[in-house]
Amino acid sequence: MPNPDFSMDIQISFGHCDPAGIVFYPNYFRWFDRCFHTYLQKTAGGHRRLCNVLDAKGIGLMDVHANFVSPAMDGDMMTLDMSILDWGNKSLTLGYLGRIGSRAVLEGTELRGMFVMREGRLRAGEMAPLRALLDAGLPETPST
């Protein structure tokens, strides 16, 4: 992932770790999710604004995978890189790489859909309008 679309630093803390002294693995997925939502926040005003504009219920998970390469522990600073790997008609694939310095901690992917209510059922909606909003970015604040 030479050019991630978004990166954030995670200060690994005591409470993230289990009795073996390493990160309790579900926490990595809380960070995947937080990374994506922070990206939405910085790029397009956040999940709530996007859902309002797009009349969607949420941009949620359909599939997730992670491969744990090496452990992280209390005191480590992990950089989490996120890349948009693929836009499908009704899905978005995100890639994640967590690393401490140059050492890989984990790699993973999320497959997300945008869920909309149609004819009384929750369905995966078209992704093109979401993509357009993310590409457009936030409107400029008028200078006067």
3-state secondary structure of 130: helix
Is 11 among the residues that bind a copy of itself (CB under 8 A)? yes
DSSP 12-66: --GGGB-TTSBB-THHHHHHHHHHHHHHHHHHHS-HHHHHHHHT-SEEEEEEEEE
Instruction: State the minimum distance, in angstroms, from the CB of residue 106 to a copy of itself.
Output: 9
SS3 136: helix
Our finding on whether 62 is near a copy of itself (CB under 8 A) is: yes
How many C-beta neighbours within 10 Å does residue 84 have? 16
Q: Is 57 in the site for a copy of itself (CB under 8 A)?
A: yes
Binding range to a copy of itself, per CB under 8 A, among 58-66, 79-87, 95-103, 124-132? 58-66
Beta strands 58-68 and 92-100: pairing type? unpaired
Of residues 55, 65, 126, 138, which one binds a copy of itself by CB under 8 A? Answer: 65
Q: How far is the CB of 102 from a copy of itself (least distance, A)?
A: 19
Task: With H, G, I as helix, E, B as strand and everything else as coil, classify residue 131.
Answer: helix
Options 63, 103, 117, 138; binder of a copy of itself; rule CB under 8 A: 63
**Which member of 37, 84, 91, 116 binds a copy of itself (CB under 8 A)?**
37
Amino acid at 98: G
Q: Which residues bind a copy of itself (CB under 8 A)?
A: 11, 13-15, 17-22, 24-27, 29-30, 33-34, 37-38, 41, 46-48, 57-58, 60-68, 71, 74-75, 115, 122
